Amino acid sequence: MADGKLQAGRDGRTLRFRLTGDWTLAHASALLARLGGLATAGLLRDHLRDGGEQHARLDTGNLNRLDTAGALLLARLHRQLEDQGFSVEWPEPRHEHRALVDYARGCGEAVTVWPRIDGGFAGFVRHLGWLTMFFAREARRFTSFIGEVTETAILTAFRPGQMRFTSMVHHMEETGLKALPIVGLLSFLIGMVMAYQGASQLQKFGAQLFVVDLIGISVLRELGVLLTSILIAGRSGSAFTAQIGTMKVNEEVAAMRTLGLDPVVVLVLPRMFALILTLPALTFFADIMGLAGGALMAWSTLGINPDLFFGRLHDAVGLRTFVVGIVKAPVFAALIALVGCYEGLRVKRDAESVGRLTTRSVVQSIFLVIVFDALFSIMFNFLGI
Amino acid sequence: MAENTLQDVVISVRGLVNRFDDNVIHQDLDLDVYRGEVIGVVGGSGTGKSVLLRTIIGLNHPVTGSIRLLGTDMINGSPEDLRAVRQRFGVLFQDGALFSSLTVAQNIQVPLKEFYDLPQDLLDEIVAAKLFMVGLSPDAGAKYPAELSGGMRKRAGLARALALDPEVVFFDEPTAGLDPIGAAAFDQLVRDLQRALGLTVFMVTHDLDSLHAICDRIAVLAEKKVLLTGPMDVMLKAQHPWLVEYFHGPRARAAAITATLDERM
């Protein structure tokens, strides 16, 4: 492959450019530098000073190979000369180069690659406004989705035949039964960690027995339900979004609508009710495992035997603590299911949005679970519970 | 250059065998494609048209056989040779296969940036030229693939396939999913670009209109090999039952009529 070359010279009173070699991508950088040099070299000025006419000739007859980049550079040279007021004579390019030259001269302005990004203060304000509008719109849409689901749920209550019980049982198995091992193991470990950390502090005051209060209240009231909800948000909320999202991509949801099936009835309600039923059960299981883990640790490090542990638990931590914890589970379940299904239904027809919305669904549901947990705390505080 | 010594054969497939588990797709398949021609590969569903395409471009490793593309051994070639030859052919996948996280213009620049170190303003100009070539308006460059219609995505995919000014372009069902007007326009675009740039085009297609309109030669895949190659009139005279049904069925007659009308006009 020969290097692309550009030679400039005088031919009588005409400025003559001889183009040889390969004008291709591989030589584009070198040719570009040559063209840049040409403009600043004062070549044109010298030519005029020496009595030349404002006339140039591009000789492309000996050009070997030409590609798009080369043709664009040729067009640039042509433009440069014309901008200097030269009339340019360009004998017909070789047959196989003609189309490329035409494309290069016809294409016009360069294309902006990046979607424009605003900088500075104005850009910040615009971005802030855009985000505000985005969240406001999202909140409105999500609220209206909750309304739609509630309405459909009430209507379905009057027509129980419409409820997809098979599907609901399937989702109970998927979100409940199959989550038992992971929920149990993690609660057990958290119970152990709490007992161990609490024990080492309480021992300083000789108040070892209060480790039972610590574990009982924290696990039953907060940790059991919160841990389970966060796990289920990551495990099942994401699954809901991915399942429904994939169905959106395949146009299954659209097909459903045309067959007269309401996606809320077929897809959302079974998942939501399944989760509302299973999350309290899972929370109950997590409570037991958490207490068991705590009891085991209390026994092995503090010598509080299980008899003493559960006796103390019975005295110090009433049924009320347990109820305050578990009553939150159905609410969290509804949140997780609603967010999961809502994001799933928002998937567009490209596969990329499935991934994006699945991530968002998990983040949003965990966020909402924690926010609602805080709201519950405030509410219980007011009620004096 | 090397391929000139091969008497203008740009793709040469010899004794190709492809097998997935026990399912034999190709058995001793031979095929030659010559420089500057448009070859259309047809065949029933499951005859391995796409597998053949993917094997030639090196995405699928065959059980045995030899494949030379632009003089490069695509099966046992060194990584450097394969990297070099990849700059000399382009592929348009069925739905464009544009990278969805990049704009159209960025998509076109991906191969340019991978292989060459060019200033941004020249890159932008190249993008403008490619968009112009495939008949897209310049403002399509800043759009994301998801914002384009199916036909525009194909054109954008073609622009990316042409980014490095390849000698050979592969198409996998280029007109699938386009309306007849869009399909005819795309056929015309492929034909125009092929003539203007002297491309060799390897096209897997089901579209009888495309076969009539732009293919110089047709290769029929059946019975695990290339049953027949030749221009349209050879296909029409063939006696093999599948060919008779394919090229003389009701759809084929309609396509033939349109093609003759086009020629008269």
DSSP tag of A113: -
Of the candidates A68, A348, A351, which has its C-beta nearest B129's C-beta? A68
| ipTM surpassing 0.90 | no
Q: HEC states along A250-275?
A: CCHHHHHHHCCCCHHHHHHHHHHHHH
**pLDDT over threshold 50, residue B2:** no
Average pLDDT over residues B181-185: 87
Residue A107 to residue B121, Cβ atoms within 8 A:
no
CA distance B259 to B265: 10
User: Which residue type is seen at B246?
Assistant: Y
Distance of CA A270 to CAs A155, B37, B45, Å? 14, 58, 39
Q: Quick check: pTM over 0.80?
A: no
pLDDT tens track for A287-329: 999 999 999 999 998 888 889 998 998 888 888 899 999 999 9
Looking at residue A222, its pLDDT comes to: 92
Round the CA-based radius of gyration of chain A to a whole number and report it.
37
Q: Could you tell me which residues are beta bridge partners of residue B19?
A: B24
pLDDT tens track for A251-291: 899 898 888 888 999 999 999 999 999 999 999 999 999 99
Distance of CA B175 to CAs A173, A248, B126, B151, B189, Å? 45, 25, 26, 9, 11
Looking at residue B4, its pLDDT comes to: 43
Percent of chain B predicted with pLDDT > 90: 8
Q: How far is B47 from chain A (nearest CA, A)?
A: 26
Average pLDDT over residues B190-207: 87
Looking at residue A117, its pLDDT comes to: 63
Test the B interface: residue of A102, A113, A116, A249 with most B CBs within 10 Å: A113
pLDDT tens track for B111-159: 888 888 888 888 888 888 888 888 888 888 888 888 888 888 989 999 9
CA distance B44 to B221: 8
Topology classification of domain A5-108: Transcription Regulator spoIIAA (3.30.750)
CA distance B41 to B39: 7
CB distance B63 to B259 below 8 Å: no
Query: Low-confidence residues of chain A, pLDDT below 50?
Result: none
User: Which residue type is seen at A284?
Assistant: F
Looking at residue A227, its pLDDT comes to: 95
Looking at residue A339, its pLDDT comes to: 96
- Provide the greatest CA pair distance for chain A: 114
- Comparing CA positions, the residue from A257, A327, A248 lying closest to residue A240 is A248
If you count them, how many residues does chain A have?
A: 385
Contacts of A73 in chain B (CB under 8 A): 122
Q: What is the mean pLDDT of chain B?
A: 84
Which residue, chain included where needed, has tokens 């007011």? A382
Residues B132, B135, B139, B140, CA torsion sign: negative
Which residue, chain included where needed, has tokens 């004579």? A89
Q: Kindly list the domain boundaries of chain A, sorted by start residue.
A: 5-108, 124-158, 163-383
Average pLDDT over residues B189-198: 86
Distance of CA A279 to CAs A232, A265, A297, A329, A376, Å? 8, 21, 26, 6, 17
CB distance A280 to A326 below 8 Å: yes
pLDDT band per the 50, 70, 90 thresholds, residue B6: very low
Looking at residue B265, its pLDDT comes to: 58
CA distance B193 to B133: 8
First to last CA, chain B: 41
Contacts of A100 in chain B (CB under 8 A): 196-197
For chain A, strand residue ranges (E) read 5-11, 14-23, 55-59, 63-66, 87-89
B113 backbone dihedrals φ, ψ, rounded to 5°: -75, -30
Of the candidates B164, B197, B198, which has its C-beta nearest A25's C-beta? B164
Average pLDDT over residues B62-86: 86
CA distance A317 to A312: 8
CB distance A84 to A44 below 8 Å: yes
